[in-house]
Amino acid sequence: MKLLKTYILIAILMISGQSFAQQTPAGKQTEAITIVGATAHLGNGEIIENSLIIIENGKIIEVTSKDLTKRQYPGKIINAEGKHVYPGFIAPNSTLGLVEISAVKATVDQDEIGEMLPNIRSLIAYNAESKIVESMRPNGVLLGQIVPRGEKISGTSSIVQFDAWNWEDAVVKEDDGLHINWPENYKRGRWWRGEDPDLKPNKEYMEDVQELSDFFSSARAYLEGKRDYKNLQFLAMEPVFNGDKKVFVHVDGEKEILDLIQFKKEHKLENLIIVGGYYALGVAEDLKNNDIPVLVNRPHSIPEEAYEDYDYPYKLAKLLQDKGVLVALESSGQMERMNTRNLPFYAGTVAAFGMDKEDALKLITSNTAKILGIDDNYGSLEKGKSATLFISEGDALDMRGNILTHAFIDGRKISLETHQTELWKRYSRKYKEQESE
């Protein structure tokens, strides 16, 4: 009897596991695919009406107007008349795959103990079977930069695609950037510890900045010296100094950004990107002159100060672009993993508040790819680039039109089913049956 109960329990677990299992990653592209008739939004500011897109071996081999070709279309034909084609959206500065359920400690793997951790790599902690990652794809978010959190130097990010068996299969660019959390010149007291919550000068600000500077100087001295002992933190800094690894600095204040620019010069950092940049507009000229891009935090936020325009977060990306700064959007903050699926609607909001729609599209495609250093293969629909794209019923930056019919990563036709879509279909059937009774 006990043995029978054991078998029944195993059977139940197997059935429930199958019901909620991750979608099986798509196999390699085996035949050519031709998408005919769609409005192609190339991601570089251009549009091709009534387009022809041919995909072979995971690459785009042709993007043109359908009327310009008189030959037989190769492979499988997808009639996309009346629909829209977009490059896959890219989510930078994300913790997708590092945390599944915040309240369950065993599923939280976004931070490590210590202050200076350039050797910590987010990639090996990335969970390719995360159900949250799976839910990105139906909205067209097909790639992301997976970033560790915490302390002064939180570690090294990597860029992945969102249809994989494991992190080895997922990786697009390994160890792409170092992430620094710049000290704040002003800080609010921690009310939960009985401190005054008002904004006050941070007396330790210069000391914290100096600590970062000393670490960079020590790392460079170690790398230029005999290296007669093994220091993992310093060894991880070598690609930073030779320009192979970008430096992403999470910072918002004007003074902090100006101090960061000086830090960049002192330590001869070639590829530096600001993440957040809430007050970057006040120093936009300095950012432009020093060739520093900004990953602007999600527009669906309220102003930080009472004196600011109510729509300041909505229009910040456009204001920075108007000043000549290279800009893209990121979605960190409260409930950031879930909210990453709203990335296209963040861009849509920026467009609604003054930016040209195709320029807004660049904020989550080609601009992001350029900032992350993957623009040679992703971010736009161009000949020779990866066939990472999707077909939408309507405007993909509008939640009413963002209805995907097909999606491809490196030419592989991926599933758009998730736990959420299964539940939606299940309860849609339920209420339709009730209406017919």
pTM here is 0.91
Residue 247 burial (CB < 10 Å; 0-12/13-18/19+)? buried
Query: What letter represents residue 138's amino acid?
Result: P
Give the pLDDT score at 73.
Answer: 85
CATH architecture group of domain 89-378: Alpha-Beta Barrel (3.20)
Mean pLDDT value across the chain: 91
Give the pLDDT score at 3.
Answer: 55
144: nearest Cα among 90, 74, 85, 184: 90
Give the pLDDT score at 16.
Answer: 43
Which residues on neighbouring strands pair with residue 180, listed in sequence order? Answer: 153, 249
H or E element in which residue 51 lies: strand 51-56
User: For the segment 392-408, what is each residue's pLDDT rounded down to a tens digit?
Assistant: 999 999 999 999 999 99
Which residues on neighbouring strands pair with residue 413, listed in sequence order? Answer: 408
User: For the segment 122-181, what is each residue's pLDDT rounded down to a tens digit?
Assistant: 999 999 999 999 999 999 999 999 999 988 999 999 999 999 999 999 999 999 999 999
15 pLDDT more than 50: no
Give the pLDDT score at 14.
Answer: 46
Outline where DSSP puts E strands in 330-419: 389-392, 404-409, 412-413
Q: What is the residue-wise DSSP string for 234-269?
A: HHTTHHHHTTSSEEEEEE--HHHHHHHHHHHHHTT-
Q: Residue 416 gets which letter from DSSP?
A: -
User: For the segment 51-88, what is each residue's pLDDT rounded down to a tens digit?
Assistant: 999 999 999 999 998 776 667 888 999 999 999 999 99
1 pLDDT more than 80: no
What is the rounded end-to-end Cα distance, in angstroms, of the chain? 44
Token duo for residue 436: 């017919």
Q: Residue holding tokens 């009310």?
A: 191
Of 3.40.50, 2.40.10, 2.40.50, 2.30.40, which CATH number belongs to 2-86+417-436?
2.30.40
22 pLDDT more than 60: no
3-state secondary structure of 206: helix
13 pLDDT more than 50: no
Token duo for residue 61: 């081999």
Give the pLDDT score at 74.
Answer: 87
Token duo for residue 273: 């990107």
Give the pLDDT score at 66.
Answer: 73
182: nearest Cα among 256, 290, 115: 256
Domain ranges of the chain: 2-86+417-436, 89-378
